[in-house]
């Protein structure tokens, strides 16, 4: 007979990480906060008030009201849809960014799945599943808007993910490791955004494409495609789609912070290293999403051909140039020592 109590006690730290921080509770909390913060932040920039009725002036109860509304709406599945795939992808899609977050270190030794030595490669391997499942989402609905959105997702991900990966290779070469924990530790003296500024620019532009936010919200493009691959989803299934989108934003933003901005490194404010590391991760995360939301309100949506041209004609050559410059700087100027 399996000793359930003993199993739980032996694995309690990992259960806490999965269920609380940086696991499910943290992801749900970020999604709720990010949606509320986006509404209020964009409203302020546009000289509006944003949500003010539910939860008084801050409007913090508006998210609860929206969630309750979606959970009580009827689940409608199109008659011509592939029903099994249509339903399965709604549960599968949020799991992928959650698995990506599992390899991100939030403090020294504090990570859900360490994957020592290859955690960065594992992150990219898992991330490739997100557009695949997203494409299935559009195909399963069997609607012209969802299928066009799915094809746009293919084009955008190919044009964005390759430069992002190549830009990350510059960090791998500079750090001499694929391990995210070691990459963060090597940034105690200097963030990698400074020696890898060209790679960061490529990564950041490609990052905007990977999270599919303005100006790269081409697959969803509500003025053209209703809501792209998400068009036919309603109620709780639509809520799941929104959860997966913002969890994807969280995963890629955390990777950017880890690779270029020192991850959990920062001045010691709290004596506990886990609390201190988590504090600096959250501070950097807030700054990053504020910049992201500012870009969303500042720029217009690109056309799909413009996004593809940017990826293949500019980002890809620049990412290869960054690799060459990194090799020259590290091995010829610094003798291979960072």
Tell me how far apart the alpha carbons of residues 96 and 84 are, in angstroms, rounded to a whole number. Answer: 19
Identify the pLDDT of residue 258: 96
CB 88 within 8 A of CB 132: no
Asked if residue 52 belongs to a domain, the reply is no
Asked if residue 47 belongs to a domain, the reply is no
Asked if residue 35 belongs to a domain, the reply is no
Asked if residue 217 belongs to a domain, the reply is yes
Is 6 strand, coil or helix?
helix
If 0-12 CB within 10 Å is exposed, 13-18 middle and 19+ buried, where does residue 53 land?
Answer: exposed
| Tens of pLDDT, residue by residue, the chain (338 residues) | 456 777 667 778 888 888 888 889 999 999 999 999 999 998 888 888 888 878 777 888 888 888 888 888 888 898 888 889 999 998 889 999 999 999 999 999 899 998 888 899 999 999 999 888 888 888 898 888 888 988 888 888 888 889 999 999 999 999 999 999 999 999 998 999 999 999 999 999 999 988 888 888 888 887 787 788 888 898 889 889 889 999 999 999 999 999 999 999 999 999 999 999 999 999 999 999 999 999 988 888 888 899 999 999 999 999 999 999 999 988 877 776 55
Asked if residue 56 belongs to a domain, the reply is no
Task: Give Cβ neighbours of residue 312 (< 8 Å, ≥ 6 apart).
Answer: 159
Asked if residue 329 belongs to a domain, the reply is yes
Asked if residue 218 belongs to a domain, the reply is yes
Identify the pLDDT of residue 165: 94
Q: Is the pTM of this model over 0.85?
A: yes
Identify the pLDDT of residue 1: 47
Q: Please write the tens of the pLDDT for every residue from 86-113.
A: 999 988 899 999 999 999 999 998 999 9
Q: What residue numbers bound the domain in which 300 lies?
A: 78-333
- Output the CA–CA distances (angstroms, integers) from residue 58 to 37, 39, 61, in the order listed: 10, 11, 8
Dihedral sign computed on CA atoms, order 258, 293, 39, 221: negative
Tell me how far apart the alpha carbons of residues 295 and 302 are, in angstroms, rounded to a whole number. Answer: 13
Identify the pLDDT of residue 2: 55
Identify the pLDDT of residue 270: 93
Total number of domains in the chain: 1
Identify the pLDDT of residue 338: 55
Asked if residue 61 belongs to a domain, the reply is no
Any idea which residue has 């955004």 for tokens? 193
């Amino acid at each position: 007979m399996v000793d359930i109590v003993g199993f739980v006690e032996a694995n309690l730290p990992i259960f806490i990480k999965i269920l609380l921080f940086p696991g499910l509770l943290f992801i749900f909390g970020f999604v709720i906060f990010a949606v509320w913060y986006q509404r209020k932040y964009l409203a302020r920039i546009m000289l509006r008030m944003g949500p003010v009725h539910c939860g008084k002036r801050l409007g913090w109860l508006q998210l609860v009201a929206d969630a309750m509304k979606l959970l009580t709406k009827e689940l409608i599945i199109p008659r011509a849809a592939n029903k099994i795939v249509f339903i399965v992808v709604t549960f599968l899609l949020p799991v992928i960014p959650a698995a990506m977050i599992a390899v991100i270190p939030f403090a020294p030794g504090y990570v859900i799945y360490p994957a020592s030595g290859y955690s960065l490669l594992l992150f990219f391997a898992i991330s490739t599943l997100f557009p695949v499942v997203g494409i299935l989402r559009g195909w399963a609905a069997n609607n012209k808007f969802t299928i066009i959105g799915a094809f746009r997702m293919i084009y955008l991900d190919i044009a964005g993910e390759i430069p992002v990966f190549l830009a990350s290779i510059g960090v791998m070469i500079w750090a001499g490791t694929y391990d995210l924990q070691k990459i963060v530790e090597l940034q105690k003296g200097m963030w990698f955004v400074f020696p890898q500024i060209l790679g960061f620019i490529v990564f950041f532009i490609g990052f905007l494409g990977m999270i599919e936010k303005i100006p790269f919200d081409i697959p969803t493009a509500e003025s053209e495609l209703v809501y792209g691959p998400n068009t036919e989803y309603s109620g709780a299934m639509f809520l799941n789609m929104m959860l997966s989108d913002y969890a994807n934003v969280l995963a890629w933003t955390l990777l950017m912070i880890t690779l270029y901005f020192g991850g959990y490194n920062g001045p010691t404010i709290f004596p506990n290293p886990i609390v201190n590391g988590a504090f600096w991760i959250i501070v950097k995360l807030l700054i990053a999403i504020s910049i992201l939301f500012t870009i969303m309100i500042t720029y217009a949506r690109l056309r799909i051909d413009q996004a593809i041209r940017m990826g293949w004609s500019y980002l890809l050559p620049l990412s290869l140039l960054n690799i060459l410059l990194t090799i020259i700087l590290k091995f010829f100027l610094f003798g291979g020592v960072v």
